[in-house]
Amino acid sequence: MKSKELVRQALTFLVVFVLVVAFSMVSLANAGAAIGELTVIKSSAGGETSSVTVNGEAAKSGRTIFSSSTISTPEGTEAIINFGKAGRVQLEPDTAFTITTDGNSIGGDLTRGKLTVLNAANGVAVRTASGETVNVTAGETASANSNNTTKKASTGPGGLNWWVWAVIIGGGATAIILIATHNNNNDTVVTSPVR
């Protein structure tokens, strides 16, 4: 009888031990605080499309991003990572970027493709494939193959530059004003209300 009680206590202890170890492993696997959110932008081109991946797993818009995450975009798909107050970056198609951040500043390794900083409180420290680190500010693009940044042209709706839209709108307004003020009939007719 004592042996049955001893076996029962040993099994109870073993089950409790396994549960504690299993739940502690889940908490140890936690990657830390969330640092950003992913937005996936698919191109309108038809054909077979593959997914943006985060650490090798397929990801959709709204996915939470942690520090040390590697985001890869396939051909025809872009991704925007929103870091809140720290800023936002855009990964162009066929890009791989591993993020390192402390919450206030953004950085990482760009092993393939191009990254554009949409806005950032501080510059984004990007290490290119050659090992050089470049500081990318808002509106600039870094390439994995180059050690310098390029200023991205400010585009408006439809992908046209803003100055093109200014010319189109200005020309349309001028045409409307000219048509409205030009009178083909030189006779001035005054009408008065009927009483």
Question: What digits encode the pLDDT tens for the residues 51-106?
Answer: 899 998 998 888 888 888 899 999 989 999 988 888 889 999 999 999 887 666 78
Mean per-residue pLDDT over the chain, rounded: 79
E strands present in the chain: 34-42, 52-54, 57-59, 64-66, 70-73, 77-82, 87-91, 95-101, 106-112, 114-120, 124-127, 133-136, 140-143, 149-151
pTM: 0.59
The pLDDT of residue 120 is above 80: yes
Domain definitions of the chain by residue range: 34-151
Collect all residues with Cβ–Cβ distance below 8 Å to 106 and sequence separation of at least 6. 83, 86, 87, 89, 99, 120, 122, 124, 125
Task: Give the confidence band of 111 by pLDDT, cuts at 50, 70, 90.
Answer: very high
At 95 the pLDDT is: 92
Per the model's pLDDT, the better-predicted residue between 36 and 146 turns out to be: 36
What is d(CA 107, CA 115) in angstroms, rounded to the nearest whole number? 11
Sheet strand arrangement including 133-136: 57-59, 52-54, 70-73, 95-101, 106-112, 124-127, 133-136
